[in-house]
Amino acid sequence: MMQQKALVDLQAMANQIRLDVMKMVYEAQDGHPGPAFSAADMITALYFKEMNINPAEAGWPDRDRFVLSKGHACPALYAALARRGYFPTTEFDGLRKMGRMLQGHPDMNKTPGIDMTSGSLGNGLSLAVGMAIAAKYRGKSYYTYTIMGDGELQEGLVWEAAMCASKYKLNNLIAFVDHNGWQSGDKVETVSGLLPLLPKWQAFNWYCQVIDGHDFVQISEAVENAKQSEKPSVIIANTIKGKGLSFMENDNSWHKRIPTAEQLATANEVLGGIVNG
């Protein structure tokens, strides 16, 4: 059972990460706050509790790997990496700027702590499968994690990767689906016949769990359960796009939108962080 202090600390960090996202997008005058907010709690749990990593040695060979398949949500990942110690928070003002390390999608050649370049939707699971296979081949014990958007599951490549992971019994692979129900154009259920998700993943012979993606206890328990399975694991995390700020929640206009100065001030008040910190 997670200790109360650890739970409070994780929530505080998730709030800080969301505020960092708002600040980055505001200063860049570009970005995707809604998708970053829905994934923020999962990213916080992984980087501040679950993953075996070493910020002092970003390329440590035995580290756990992470692939942000929904790469447009990268401001949340950048915030987590900075708060974890991979690079200073002073880099935040360089989001989406030429010559700076924080690109509009994750770039493993520019940003310390990024394990794989991503952003072309539907490719992240295949990349994570490759990492998991490499770990098996090399006799390494690290885990590979990935977070996918629900909209990108419409890509056929995702299901080819799912078949491959099942065939090779990649029990060192843990995938999250950020199931906020929206993609850029509309609700996922409106755009395609993707739903329901659970029986599809079960049909591909994965170990499946469905959780509240904003509940740190459920996230942690799901990861521990996944580590006990002999199959690749998928955690379908029910989330809210824009989670954390009432004026953003379930409003798909925040998929790609710039907050006003007043909205940034409100975020600072609600989330309890420091705008210039």
- The whole-number average pLDDT for the span 215-233 is 98
Residues 6+ apart with CB under 8 A from 118: 67, 68, 69, 71, 105, 106, 124, 127
Q: Positive or negative CA dihedral for 268, 274, 276, 277?
A: negative
Residue keyed to tokens 């409070």: 8
pLDDT band at 272 (very low <50, low <70, confident <90, very high): confident
Report the CATH superfamily, name and number, of domain 4-271. Thiamin diphosphate (ThDP)-binding fold, Pyr/PP domains (3.40.50.970)
Rounded CA-CA distance 56/119 in Å is: 26
Listed residue (272, 253, 268) closest to 33, CA to CA: 253
pLDDT of residue 39: 98
- The whole-number average pLDDT for the span 155-173 is 98
Rounded CA-CA distance 248/179 in Å is: 16
Mean pLDDT of the chain: 96
pLDDT of residue 1: 66
**Is pLDDT of 30 > 60?**
yes
In contact, 15 and 43? CB cutoff 8 Å: no
Tens digits of per-residue pLDDT, 229-253? Answer: 999 999 999 999 999 999 999 999 9
In contact, 148 and 177? CB cutoff 8 Å: yes
pLDDT of residue 276: 44
Tens digits of per-residue pLDDT, 120-162? Answer: 999 999 999 999 999 999 999 999 999 999 999 999 999 999 9
Residues 6+ apart with CB under 8 A from 52: 62, 63, 64, 142, 143
Listed residue (81, 7, 8) closest to 43, CA to CA: 81
pLDDT of residue 78: 98
- The whole-number average pLDDT for the span 259-274 is 90
Outline where DSSP puts E strands in 72-159.
Answer: 144-149
**Is pLDDT of 70 > 60?**
yes
DSSP string, 231-263: S-EEEEEE--TTTT-TTTTT-GGGGS-PPPHHH
Q: What are phi and psi of 187, to 5 degrees?
A: -65, 145
Rounded CA-CA distance 138/46 in Å is: 24
Phi-psi region of 160 (alpha: psi -120 to 50; beta: other; left: phi over 0): alpha
Residue keyed to tokens 């949500």: 73
SS3 178: strand
pTM of the model: 0.97
